Structure formats: structure tokens, C-alpha cells
Structure 1
Amino acid sequence: MLSSRARVSTALASSRCHTFKAFYATIRSLRHAAPEPDDVPPSDNDFIVSILRANPSLRDTRSYLASFGPRPKPPSAPSADPTHPPSALATTESIPITLEHPKPSPVLSSILDPVVKRTALVKVQGPFTDVQLDSIARGLVYLEKLGLVSVIVVDSDTVARGDQDERSALVEETMRLVTTLEKQGGRARPVLGAIVRLGPKPGDEEPPEPDLTYPEAHTFPSDLVAIRSALRAGEIPVIPPFALDSFCRSVRIDANDVIGALTRGMVEVAQPDSSRTGPDAVPSDDVDLTPLRLMIINREGGVPSYARSGYPHLLINLASEYSHIHDTFHKPWHHTNPTALSNLALARMCLAYMPVTSSAIMVSHRSPSSLIANLITNKPALSSSLPHALLQGNRRLTAHTPTLLRRGLPIRVLRTVDDIDRPKLNALLQDSFGRTLNETAFYRRLEQTLDFVVIAGDYVGAAIVTNEPCEGSDVPISYLDKFAVLPSHQGDGTVDFLWVALHDESYGLGHPFSANPNGGKGGVGEGRDLVWRSRANNPINKWYFERSSGHIRMGSWVLFWCDAEKRLKLEQAKRANAGMSYVEKWEEGRLAQWGDAVQKIPSSWQ
């Protein structure tokens, strides 16, 4: 009988050519991809093409249909005929008779059972040229066709506060956008009267979250009548940033305060309370004002990131990254992206009121198709957990790539088994994998081998990394033992948040962009190769293929690894233009060692 190490070596030797040419695709040998559609001028604004470019997964499609698809009709109970009561025989032995009915045409079906309309709050932050405004309006009209109706607040960076003609200038911009929406086939209604009130809302005490401020304006349900009326009539309300002051005068205020007040007011009015009377009374109708998206359309795009050489953040976890983004915001960006931080604060304030599944997107006018992609998938244009070299080495990431923002979850790193909440971790692992954990053996092994555990939120996600002994080497293997996210949080950004933190604590150590606020090493240290395995038929393997440096098939398993990024960078610098070979000296024999060590790891399940 051959030892497990010998079997692995034999498998490697027999497929060496295929291993290193077909399966071994390290970051340094990634091919340059073609530019993304958003890199080309907006001939991509065709409605069908924009939907296809979103490339939604099955989970994305189901999530979209759950929010916007036709509601299933409850089965109608058969009516009883009092003159012919059912007999006992009929109730026990009746034979169902199927009647043939003609199937209605798809057009008729769409009319009789329309897509459910939901709302989005949109800040259009100009100034924009006529061509740019056409592109923006076309994207908003497309969103309406998909079921998302915009409530638009108009803003203009060129209209200074206190200008003599500021009011007329903002009204003109509002009417200009209304006209453009109509020209693109939409129906729009200008709401020129003030619909928010200046100052804090009576009775406000504590904000919804610590360190979060209320907007400097508020609304009562009766103030939203104009918005309700427009939405019920199938029209897009377009609103200038005006508010009523204490003397009932209409004055200009910051557009962010208008949007913040509308977000809070629309969420509150969508939750009727029968005890409300007077100005707080909630009209009874079928319009759900709860905003599902916040969209900030401007000329500067998303929030620049120190980790991406000034290119935008792809996905922001506001719960853990908000302060860190402020601390790492470079001074030149205050001139190139002057409203990035104020829009970041706006997103944080609004998402605190919106449903947890909601998101905000900061997008340049150059990427209108991103709005459709975000609506259908609720994901960033590019995954934030993809390797940095893959994103920045092939022009997929540009200055106009949108930034997606989620309320997110706190991320923390635990170093000892004693710090783990075992019941919560057990529930997470068993719900995620659908299997029963062998608790005694699992924690006994962790007490001997645990390196760290990354925890997302209150154990809605976890990445467990262990130090596994490696025969023939004094350095243990850094092994990803478990990567789990609760099914209810798959698709809300938690997976990417968790993988980014895993990267920062393992193979990404030693780079400045790994200094993220997750309670770990802060990017300081030497990165280590990260190794893990997955069943060959695991549907998540496609996701692993995109994030790993390489992989090799071992029977019913696939062995993945991520090379330490700092070491790869140093090797590339040494060789300059000579490039790197398929197998470097420091790589020789490591796959056999890894395969042998991984096969010795016992199962964690009963």
C-alpha cells in the first residue's frame, strides 16, 4: 500500500504537464481581460443589452423576482352550492376534472399581473451637459421598466448657497431633468413646493445608531402626499432641495438633508400605526414608499480608496470601514472628489433607516448601465474580494467604477479558542454546511492548531484558519479550515466582507492595503500561503477559482491556494522583465507537501 504522500506524489508526477499548464494559474500569470462595458461610450444603453450585461446569477434572479416579480395569487376556495351539498362519496372518491383554458398571451399577462413597483431615492448631483443628462435619464427610465421608480432630488455644485438667483436656477435644473425624462419615454412630475421641514423632528431623542446624527430636516406623513400622488399616477417625482423654515418660508437647504429626511419619512410612513392622528396620520393606500435603493449620480464617481491607488472602493462595509475611510482619505482627493465624504455620510445615515437588504450606490454619469446591474444583482460591479492584481492589472477597475455601500457588519479577529462563542459558531457551521458538527473532536483540534478566526457580525459568518503540521518542513501550513456564511446572509455582501478580512490576516499581510480595521494585525507582518480544499462538485468552486492563485485536482477534492502576495511582488521585482517560470525553486515540492498534510486532516462532521 502506498502512503498518502506517495499517492499524492504519483498523482502529481502523472499529470505534471496538465497541473502546471492547465490548473496552475497564479496571479502573476493572469491574462489581461478586455475592458468592461462601462469603459466604452454609452452605446450600451439599450435596455435589453443592459440587462444582459448585468449577468445575474440564479440567486440574484430569485432575489430580484422576490422584490419585483408578480405576487402569487392565493388559490381560490371552491364555492359551495347550498342546494347541492356534497355527498360522502364525492368527498372521498371524486375524480378531479381538468378544464382546458386558453393561455393568455404574455402581453396580456403582463398587463393583468404587472411587476411590483418599488421606490428608490436618487440624488442627481450636477451640473450635467444635455448629453450626460440624457444618459442619466435613460438609465432611470430603464429602472422604472424593471420596477424601481425613482424619487429624485436635484442638486447642483455650481449653484452656490446664498446666490441671488439660486432658487430660480434650481427650479430650472429641476424642469430640465423633468423634460429630459419625458423625452426618454418616462413620465415625470416636478414637485416644486417644499416637502420637508427645516430642523429636528419634534420628539427626537436618540438616533437609530450610535455616532449617527439625524438629518437637519424632517417630514410628516401629510408632507408626502405629492410624492404618493406622483407614484400612484405612474410618474417620477423630481424635487429641488427646498424646505419650510419655522416661518413657513421655502428656503434652500443641503440636498443631503432633503434626502435624509425623505428616507426617514418614507420608511416611517410605510409602517402604519393606527394610533397616529393629525399630521402624523398615515393615508391608507397601496403605495409602498419604503426606499430599497439610494443612488447618488455625480461627475466624480465613487469613494477613492488608498488600497486601490485612488481608484474607487468597490464595496464598503459601513459598520466597520466608515471611520477608517475618513482616516485614510488623502488630501488631494478633497479636490478631485470634493463630495465623496459627504455622500459617504449620506449613505450611512439613509441606510440606517432603510431595510437591511437595501444598498446605496455612488456612480458617475459615465456608468449608467451600472444602475441596472445594481438593481438586478444588488452587488458591486466587481467583487471586492478578487485579487488586487486581477482588478488593477487589466483595466477592469477604472476611475468611474461605481462604489456600492451596505450597512454591513462589524468584523473582528479572535486568536484563542476561549474567545469563541461555541454555541453560536456551532449553529453557524451546521446551518451553513447542513451537517452535524462533531463538537468534541473539532474543538480539541482547534485548541492545538488554531491560528485565528474572523467573525462577521454576531456569528453570521466565520473564517477559521489553522496551522497544520507539514512533514519535511518546520513551518506549518496556513490552512483555511472553515469558511461559512449563514444562508440568510449569502448575497448581502457578507461573503466579500469576510474574504477581504481573511486576505488581510493571511496571504495579504505586508501590504499597506491590508491595514483594514478588523481588529487583527493591521497589515503588519509577513504574508503566508493560504491553502484549503473543497469537494470537486462543490458549486462554490467557481468562486474559489476566481480568488485563488492556483488549484490542483486530487480525486474527489480540489486543492486551492493563495500565494503570499508580498513574496510574489518581491520575486517579480527581482526578475524584472524576465518574468517568472511556472515553478520557482521555493515552489518545488510544496504541492506534494500540502496534499499530504491536507489529506491527514480529520473530518469535522459526525
Structure 2
Amino acid sequence: MIPQTTTTRTVSNALRAQRSHTFKAFYATVRGHTNNPPKPDPVEDVPPNDFILSILKTNPSLRDARSYITSFGLRPHTQPAPNVTKLPPAQAPSNITITTPVRERTVDVTTELPKPSPVIASILNPISRRTALVKLQGPFTDNQLDSICRGMVYLEKLGLVSVIVVESDRNGRSSQEERAALVDETMRIVTNLEKQGSRARPIVGAVVRLGPKPEDEHVELEQGVEPPETHTLPTDLSPIRSALKAGEIPVIAPFALDSFCRSVRVDANNVVAGLARGMVEAASLDATKPPSEESSSEVDLTPLRLMIINRDGGVPSYARSGYPHLLINLKAEYDHITGTFDANWRESHPDALANLALARTCLHYMPTSSSAIMVSHKSQSSLIGNLITNKPAVSSSLPHALLQGNRSLTPHTPTLLRQGLPIQVMRSMADVDKAKMTALLEQSFNRTLDTDAFYKRLDKALDFVIVAGDYAGAAIVTNEPSIDGRPPISYLDKFAVLPSHQGDGTVDFLWVALHDESYGLGHPFSANPNGGRGGKGEGRDLVWRSRSNNPVNKWYFERSTGHVRMGPWVLFWCDAEKRLKIEEGRRGSSGLSYIEDWERGRLSGWAGVVDKIPSAWK
């Protein structure tokens, strides 16, 4: 047996003291809640303060609030100037004496009134108004439409004005009465919006034109992204501009002008895609014009969100047993999702792939900060959470066992889609751009990297590096020799994301790829297209450390199997999921104990190695 040093002995004592609590907490959450059935959809009962409750349920973080304020600003409240006589500075009194027949009162004018919270004020009083493109794919019952329109009105109160495009599957394309039915459906939505307290305007004339723009054949698009089958001219958007300027929600029927200037019925996806591009281009032209009092009061045409509201919800996921994807990285996952789409889902979710393609096309033209959400009519309240936080309803990077047993996941859980970033896995330092990696690490940690020592160590110990985009984020994993004869330790040396990409989904994309390459290996749901092993192989326990005062630790606590404190550090680990699954299968109904034989002594072994890893900073 190797003699323990004083540091290792202290760590071991701490481990023994906390081991029981740590393992109980871990197995109670991960091993005890994997088979809970989801809650049935609640019956909607709208309270009088439903709007405020919907905001409070989002529980926005400080970063979320800052992002919202950046988009919508704070409405200034101007107080009327008091009608008083100005005195020279030398004669200005510090207080004012008011004489009445009854008594004399002194009023201290320096008393300040309580100020409202800036976060609450910014959410309830947006100064800027932005637009959201909404595809409303019915048919919907009256109750369902009430719920949807109420959500649109709530978003308008928060500064996001919907530009709604109507689609209905009730009538076939060959029906002679389809045009009249679509106009009736448009009017029905307008009536319901006004019943909910908003103002709306039906637009039954064509706002898009069939065919791509003439210059499209000379434009190079992202691989696989086809230009929309419709386009707009600046004058085509006049009805939408007029409605927005008048404070009305435009509700658009799915018609387009053909080459003979006839209004013809088209798929709503073509209208939405053409509008996404046209509105972005029109907003760019607006930005080049000199500001005026009239233009300053108009709504920013650039779509901030794309919302696809239907009866089926999001895109089914093989990793969720048919429940929807939580977050989709379109640049990395689009081909994989379409290639692995189950044949049964084509019946239960016939429009999922078409809506997925629509989201990719629209987000190609929209700003990188924009996102798309595919949501069922039963989850309209989630639209507020998405607006304020721009995050999925449940984080996709949480442990898979917790996601499988999470009662908040239902067939109607929304799918959030982002343009995302390509993900690549490198297994040699020769493939790593050290200059870009250094810039990423120093900006992320706000410290100076000891480059010579750091990269010299990685040349010997590197297992793999996962890079998101052009070094917008990275996860570095090394193989550390074990001190007790066990296999090498898989150690997460660095996990970093540029500050400019924190909050845009890159953190979750990167952690999911890390899961697939380490402790999640061996499961079918780890076969994501990140350029690595494709889910094939044996998972390994993943270990890492973090300073005890690191504000990111809360995020680590939620994603780790367990943790233990060791002086100024916190040691985290994630158990290899395939091994746990095999052990559960062997035990059957008897379940796993809190501490298995193969788990004994491993924490002290990990701590002894991790505690000696040198710092990477100067």
C-alpha cells in the first residue's frame, strides 16, 4: 500500500465524513427516479394574474434579464416639472415651509420615493418593440385558440409583437372553398386576439411573391440551405408595417402573387420563409436611413423569434423515447435528426421535418441571437419563458437519467432550435490551433495562461479536445495515471466558452458532446454527430475539480453524479452510464446499493491525483 501524505490523509477523512450523504443524494436522484411516468397535461384554469405568474415562472437569471434589457430596453418615466419659482443658488433653501391656518409643517424635499426594481420595470415596461414570426398551424378548437391568442397578447405586453401566418390542415388544397375557409380562419384569429384585449388586423392580400429573387443564383448559401421559394419587395411589406405602426397584430393568410400577379394559395412555410428574409432585409434598409421622429416609433422588423405553434409539438427524439428534442444545434444535428427520423413519427408528427427545415431556412437569415421554438398549443405559457430566457424548458445537458424521469417532460414540451455551431473532436495537439485555444481560455477565465507548461503537459496527457465552432468553446480531457493501479483517470482539464457565446446554447451543445465522448459512451442516445466515436465504446467515469467559490459550481452540481469538498476545491464526477445500466440489469428489482464494491476507495484515489495537477495559470 502506498503511504498517504498529510494532504491525502486529510482529504480521505473528509471523504469518509461526507461519503454517505453524497451517495445517498446521488442514488436518490439518479437511480430512484428513472421510471416515473409523466404527469398528465393539467386542465387549464386561467387565474386573473396569469400574466404575472407566467413571468415569475420563468425565473430569469441575471444574464437573462440583461439580455432582455438589451433587446427591449427600459421605458423612461418622465415626471412633470413642479410649478415653482426658481431661486438664486445662494437663496435656495434645503427645505420648504408651508404655512396653513392650523399649523406649520416642514416638508423635506430630499426624501426619495422608492424606486421599482430595474429588472421588473424593464420586463413590464419595454421601450423597444420587436417582432416574432409566428406560424399558426391549425385547426384549433375555440379553447385552444383562446390559449394561443392569450399567449400572443402576453408577448405583446412584453414588447414582442407577433406577425402571424395562418395555416390550416382542415381543407385539402383542391377544395374550391379552401380560400374562403382560410379567410374565415384569419378573421377568427383576429376576433379572438381582440377578445383577449389586443388589436389585430387581417391581411388577406399577398405579401410575398412566388419564385426566388433573380440574384439568388449568384449567392452562395450554407451547404444544404435552400433559398425560400418566395421573396418580397420592400413595398410588399407595407400592410405589415401599417399594422405594426398602428399597434395592431398582423394576421396573414397564406397567399402569394404568381408571375401573372394572381393571388394563389401556397404553403404557409413558403410565406414564413419569404417574410423572414424580407423583413431582415427591410430592417437593414431602415437602418441606413437617417433617424426621424416617425421612424423611431416603428417596430423593429428584424424577427427576434420564430414560433411554430401546432397540435403536435416539437421534433421527436430517439433519446427521449419519442418525446421532443429539448434543444437542437441545427449546424451540427440537422442531417442526423432527419436521417434517423423514425417511420412511426411520420404519422404522429407529419409536419415535424418540414417545420425543422423551415426553422433552418429562417434562422439562416435571422440574427445569430435569434432562435426558433416549436410548441404545442398546450404550452403557450412556455413562449414567455423562451422570450425572457431564450433557453429550452429543460436543459438538454442535464444527466440523461434525470431527463428520462423528469415529470415536466411531456409530449408537449417545446423544442428550441438555434443556428448553433459545428462540433469537432480532436485527439492530437497537432490538430489544435494553440493561438485560438489560448485566446479562448484567457477570455473565458480572465486569467493569463502559462502556455509553455500547459501545452507541454497536454502533449503527454491529452485524451481528446472538443471544439465548438471557431473556438467559441472547448472541452479538454486528459488521461491521468492512477495511484492505486486502477485504469487511468479521465479528467476534464478545461471547460471554457467565450463570454460572447455564454447564453446562446453553446454551453449545452458542448456539454452534450462531452457526455457523448466520455461517460455517456455505449448508449444509442450518445450517437450524436460531433465527429467523435458516434456512441460506440465503453463509457468512463469523468472527473474534474473547481474552485469552491466558482459561481459555475451550481451548474456543475446539477450535471454531476456527485461531488465532495477537498480544501479550496470541489471534486466532481460523472459515473459511466453504461456500467450503471448493466449493474441495474443484473440486480433486477433488488436495485443498487448506496456504495458498490467497485466504488470503494475510488474517491480518495481520484482526490490524490487531482490534488497534484499543476495550475495552468501564471
Name the TM-score, length of structure 2 as normaliser: 0.89
Q: CA RMSD in A?
A: 2.7
Q: Residue 458 in 1 paired to residue 473 in 2?
A: no
Structure 1 CA distance, aligned partners of 2:32 and 2:527? 26
Aligned amino acid, residue 55 of structure 1: N
Between 500-509 and 465-474, the greater mean CA deviation after superposition: 465-474
1:199–1:577 distance in 2 versus 1, CA, 3 Å:
same
Distance 1:538 1:197, change over 3 A: same
Letter in 1 for 2:248: E
Moved more, 137-146 or 11-20: 11-20
Tell me the CA shift for residue 573 of structure 1.
1.0
**2:101 aligned partner:** none
Determine which of 546, 555, 562 is the counterpart of 1:543. Answer: 555
1:289 deviation in Å? Answer: 0.3
In the TM superposition, what are the counterparts of 1:114-513 in structure 2 within 5 Å? 115-204=127-216, 205-272=218-285, 286-513=298-525
Worse-matched range after superposition: 538-547 or 199-208: 199-208
- 1:24 and 1:35 map into 2 onto residues whose CA distance is 20
Encode CA deviations 1:177-210: one digit per residue, 9 max, x unaligned: 0011111111100011111111111222225422
- Counterpart for residue 7 of structure 2: 4
Cα 1:29–1:549 change in 2 (3 A) is farther
Partner of 2:73: 69
Task: Tell which deviates more after alignment, 60-69 or 485-494.
Answer: 60-69
Alpha-carbon distance in structure 2 between the residues aligned to 1:34 and 1:574: 23
Q: Which amino acid aligns with 1:8?
A: V
Q: Contact between 1:320 and 1:410, CA under 8 Å: does it hold in 2?
A: yes
What is the rounded CA distance, in whole Å, between the counterparts of 1:72 and 1:8 in structure 2?
55
**Is the Cα–Cα contact under 8 Å of residues 320 and 409 in structure 1 kept in the other structure?**
yes
- Contact kept, 8 Å, 1:454 with 1:502, in 2: the verdict is yes
- Secondary structure of 1:289's counterpart equals strand
> In the superposition, relative to structure 1, how do residues 564 and 105 fare at CA in structure 2: closer, same or farther (>3 Å)?
closer
Given residue 252 of structure 2, which amino acid in structure 1 is its aligned partner? Answer: I
- 2:389 and 2:422 map into 1 onto residues whose CA distance is 23
**CA separation of 1:528 and 1:275: change in aligned 2, threshold 3 A:** closer
Cα distance in 2 for residues equivalent to 1:383 and 1:523 = 21
Q: Tell me the alpha carbon deviations over residues 495-514 of structure 1, each in whole angstroms, 9 at most, x when there is no partner.
A: 00000000000000000010
What SS class does the counterpart of residue 487 from structure 2 fall into?
coil
How far is the alpha carbon of 1:42 from its aligned partner?
A: 2.7
Aligned-partner SS, 2:163: strand
Deviation, 1:7, is 2.5
User: Judging changes above 3 Å, is the alpha-carbon distance between structure 1 residues 24 and 557 closer, same or farther for their aligned structure 2 residues?
Assistant: farther
* Residue of 14, 28, 31 corresponding to 1:28: 31
3-state DSSP class of the match of 1:270?
A: helix
Name the CA distance, whole Å, in 1 between partners of 2:287 and 2:566.
Answer: 63
The alignment-based identity, stated in percent, is 68
Contact 1:468 1:477 in 2 (8 A): yes
| Alpha carbons 1:23, 1:551 under 8 Å: kept | no
Shift of 1:492: 0.2
Distance 1:17 1:502, change over 3 A: closer
Question: Do the aligned partners of 2:29 and 2:402 also contact (CA within 8 Å) in 1?
Answer: no
Q: Is the 8 A contact 1:32 1:394 kept in 2?
A: no
1:122–1:152 Cα contact (<8 Å) kept: yes
SS in structure 2 at match of 1:572: helix
Q: Match of 1:51, as an amino acid?
A: I
Q: How far apart in 2 are the matches of 1:565 and 1:8?
A: 26
Take 2:382 and 2:181, find their aligned partners in 1: how far apart are those partners? 29
Contact kept? 2:444, 2:496, Cα under 8 Å: yes
Match 1:13 to one of 16, 29, 34: 16
Query: How many angstroms apart in 2 are the aligned matches of 1:274 and 1:384?
Result: 37
- Give the C-alpha shift of residue 557 in structure 1: 1.1
Provide the secondary structure at the position in 2 that maps to 1:164.
coil
Q: Indicate if the aligned counterparts of 2:256 and 2:266 stay in contact, CA closer than 8 A.
A: yes
Structure 1 unaligned spans of 5+: 74-89, 277-282
Distance across 1 between alignment mates of 2:593 and 2:342: 38
Matched residue, 1:54: 58
CA 1:516–1:9: 2 relative to 1, 3 Å: same
- Given that 1:217 and 1:261 are in contact with CA atoms closer than 8 Å, whether structure 2 keeps it comes out as yes
Is the CA contact (8 Å cut-off) linking 1:115 and 1:146 kept in structure 2?
no
Structure 2 distance, partners of 1:452, 1:562, is 17
**Which stretch of structure 1 is more off in the superposition, 55-64 or 477-486?**
55-64
After superposition, the Cα gap between the structure-2 partners of 1:151 and 1:21, relative to the gap in structure 1 and judged at 3 Å, is same
Q: Give the Å deviation of 1:27.
A: 2.2
Cα offset for 1:296?
0.2
Distance in 2, matches of 1:209 and 1:566, equals 37
CA distance in structure 1 between the partners assigned to 2:589 and 2:288 by the alignment = 74
Name which of 18, 28, 45 aligns with 1:43.
Answer: 45
CA distance in 2 between counterparts of 1:382 and 1:353 reads 27
Pair 1:18–1:164, CA change in 2 (3 A): closer
Per-residue CA deviations over 1:117-148 (Å, capped at 9, x if unaligned) read: 11000000000000000000001100000110
Counterpart of 2:444 in structure 1: which amino acid? Answer: S
- Give the Cα separation in 2 of the matches to 1:32 and 1:524: 25
For residues 33 and 325 of structure 1, the distance between their equivalents in structure 2, rounded to whole angstroms, comes to: 27
Letter in 1 for 2:208: V
Amino acid aligned to 1:52: L
2:579 is aligned with 1:567: yes
Report the alpha carbon displacement of residue 22 of structure 1 after superposing the two structures with TM. 5.4
How far apart, CA to CA, are the structure 2 residues paired with 1:323 and 1:466?
A: 30
Letter in 2 for 1:139: G
Contact 1:25–1:550 (CA<8 Å) still a contact in 2?
A: no
Native 8 Å contact 1:125 1:296 kept in 2: yes
